[in-house]
Amino acid sequence: MASNSKSITGARTTVPLPEDLHHRAKMASTWSGTKLQDFVAEAVEQHLAQAESAMDRESRKKPAR
DSSP secondary structure of 5-63:
-SPP-S--------HHHHHHHHHHHHHHT--HHHHHHHHHHHHHHHHHHHHHHHHHHSP
Under the banding of pLDDT at 50, 70 and 90, the label for residue 16 is: very high
Exposure on the CB side of residue 37, measured as CA atoms within 13 A: 10
Dihedral over alpha carbons 1, 16, 9, 45 (to 10 degrees): 40
Overall pTM surpassing 0.85 (yes/no): no
pLDDT in tens, 18-49: 999 999 999 999 999 999 999 999 999 999 99
Mean pLDDT, the chain, rounded, equals 86
In this structure, the chain runs to a length of 65
